Amino acid sequence: MNSKQLACILLLVGMLVAYQIGQSLRNRAAATAMQADQADAEEVGQRTQLDAERSVLVDLQRQSKDLIEFTTLWEPFFAIIEEQQAAETGISMKVREANMLNISQRYEQLAHTINNKPNPSLPTMVRATLAFDDSYFKLLNWLGMMERIKPTMRVGRVALSKGSRGDDIRMDVVLEVPLKK
Amino acid sequence: MQLAADQIDDFKTDRKDITPPLPMVFRLLPILFYLSLVFLAVIGTLALWHNKVAADRLQATQQRVATVQQEIASTKASRAALEEQIRRSTDLEGWVLASRPLQPLVVAITRSIGPNSSIVELSLERDPETPSRLKLGLRLNTDSDKQLEKTLDAIRDMDYREISPTQTMVRGDLSYRASLVWQKPDGAQDTPASRTGQQATGP
């Protein structure tokens, strides 16, 4: 191979290298553009997901508005729920203050379920089983007063029957106070 | 022709080319080489410019995607918090609806008893699994069926509806059992104020 031929080959190689470098730069630009296009597509997908999430949130807020407003009124009353000891003391004090003939009182703590499902927000409750024998007016007024001053307490059972003396009646009542823990 | 003595040229015969000439077409090679350099300059510059534009676009898009992802995460967190609040509210509502005061109902029943009748036994008990439902047990000494109708009217006036009633009457001893379900009147809301008789300003 003579020098002229070698020079030609070198020129050809130079052209090829120039072409390859040009192609490489073009490919790199194309790859970056493709990545940018993919990112654009991903952005569209993410925005669609965001719109869906926001729509679900708005629907949920609309559906739960009344429920949350309703329970917001009750929250402060549930916030002061006592522990078992305090709940028992609160009821027994009211029994003593009423100056009624109290035949028996029993307190127990038990799990709270609704429709066979546990209630995680109010998992337990104190159940007070009380029996009185006194006048109708005193007993019913006391029961009404308890329901008024403890609006979150519920009467689980009330039974009236003839009492041991004259016009007196016997009242068996079960009071249930929800506990937070 | 005379030649100067100090001008002595070394006449030589032309040397023959060391290598034979290339064909004429190969003269295009340098031109093509320069064209390829121009091609590289133009295409390279354009490619680098496009690459920069695309990289800027990619970076901007990635930033926007990151922002949108943050918003999605924030929205999901809000939804999770709201769902937790709904769950808790549902639990509290369940208790509230199952704790309606019974004293007014007991008073309404006892007040419905006429002069020729008397209550032998009255019981109201919440269903253990559905506490919003009440089991009514009533034993009356009465001389008329109308007394029971009057008592049931009083119960209905308190917005309770009886379900599955059973009734027996043996020589003036009337026994009545039913389940009672509170029917929420239109627009009525069971609020703390309605139970305590005070403004709802908290306990």
pLDDT digits (tens, 9 = 90+) for B170-196: 887 899 999 999 887 665 667 777 777
In this prediction, residue B17 has a pLDDT band, given cuts at 50, 70 and 90, of low
Note whether residue B111 is domain-resident.
yes
Note whether residue B38 is domain-resident.
yes
Nearest to B47 among A26, A54, A159 (CB): A26
C-alpha dihedral (A86, A88, A89, A93), degrees to nearest 10 = 140
Note whether residue B13 is domain-resident.
no
Q: Do A119 and B94 touch (CB under 8 A)?
A: yes
Q: Residues B120, B178: one domain?
A: yes
Residues of the domain holding B80: 25-97
Note whether residue B19 is domain-resident.
no
The length of chain A, given as a count of residues: 181
Q: Residues B63, B86: one domain?
A: yes
In this prediction, residue B197 has a pLDDT band, given cuts at 50, 70 and 90, of low
Q: Residues B158, B173: one domain?
A: yes
Q: Residues B39, B54: one domain?
A: yes
- Residue ending a domain, among B97, B128, B147, is B97
Note whether residue B7 is domain-resident.
no
Q: Could you give the number of structural domains in chain B?
A: 2
Q: Residues B36, B93: one domain?
A: yes
In this prediction, residue B5 has a pLDDT band, given cuts at 50, 70 and 90, of low
ipTM of the complex: 0.79
Report residues of chain A scoring pLDDT below 70.
Answer: 81-82, 181
Residues 4-33 of A with CB under 8 A from B: 4-5, 8, 11-12, 14-15, 18-19, 21-22, 25-26, 28-29, 32-33
Q: Residues B127, B88: one domain?
A: no
B70's tokens? 């943050």
What is the percent of chain B where pLDDT is above 90? 51
Greater confidence (B201 vs A8) lies with A8
User: Which pLDDT does position B8 carry in this prediction?
Assistant: 62
B138's tokens? 């009533």
Strand pairing partners for B170?
Answer: B173
Q: Residues B107, B165: one domain?
A: yes
- Residue ending a domain, among B66, B97, B128, is B97
Note whether residue B201 is domain-resident.
no
Q: Residues B73, B121: one domain?
A: no
A72's tokens? 């917001």
Nearest Cα to Cα of residue A172 among A126, A127, A128, A130: A130
- Residue ending a domain, among B97, B120, B139, is B97
Note whether residue B171 is domain-resident.
yes
- Average pLDDT score over chain B: 85
Residue B3: pLDDT over 70:
no
Q: Residues B128, B176: one domain?
A: yes
Which chain A residues have a beta carbon less than 8 Å from that of B93? 67, 70-71
List the Cα angle B78/B81/B87 in 5-degree steps: 140
Q: What is the pTM of this model?
A: 0.74
Q: Do A152 and B95 touch (CB under 8 A)?
A: yes
Q: Do A152 and B55 touch (CB under 8 A)?
A: no
User: Which pLDDT does position B203 carry in this prediction?
Assistant: 44
pLDDT digits (tens, 9 = 90+) for B138-149: 999 888 778 899
Which chain A residues have a beta carbon less than 8 Å from that of B82? 57, 60-61, 64
Secondary-structure class of domain A84-179 per CATH? alpha beta
For residue B25, give the DSSP letter: G
Q: Do B130 and A115 touch (CB under 8 A)?
A: yes
The length of chain B, given as a count of residues: 203
Structural domain boundaries in chain A: 1-79, 84-179
User: Which pLDDT does position B108 carry in this prediction?
Assistant: 94
Residue B22: pLDDT over 80:
no
Q: What is the mean pLDDT of residues B54-77?
A: 96
pLDDT digits (tens, 9 = 90+) for A53-74: 999 999 999 999 999 998 888 8
User: What SS3 state is found at B31?
Assistant: helix
Residues 82-111 of A with CB under 8 A from B: none
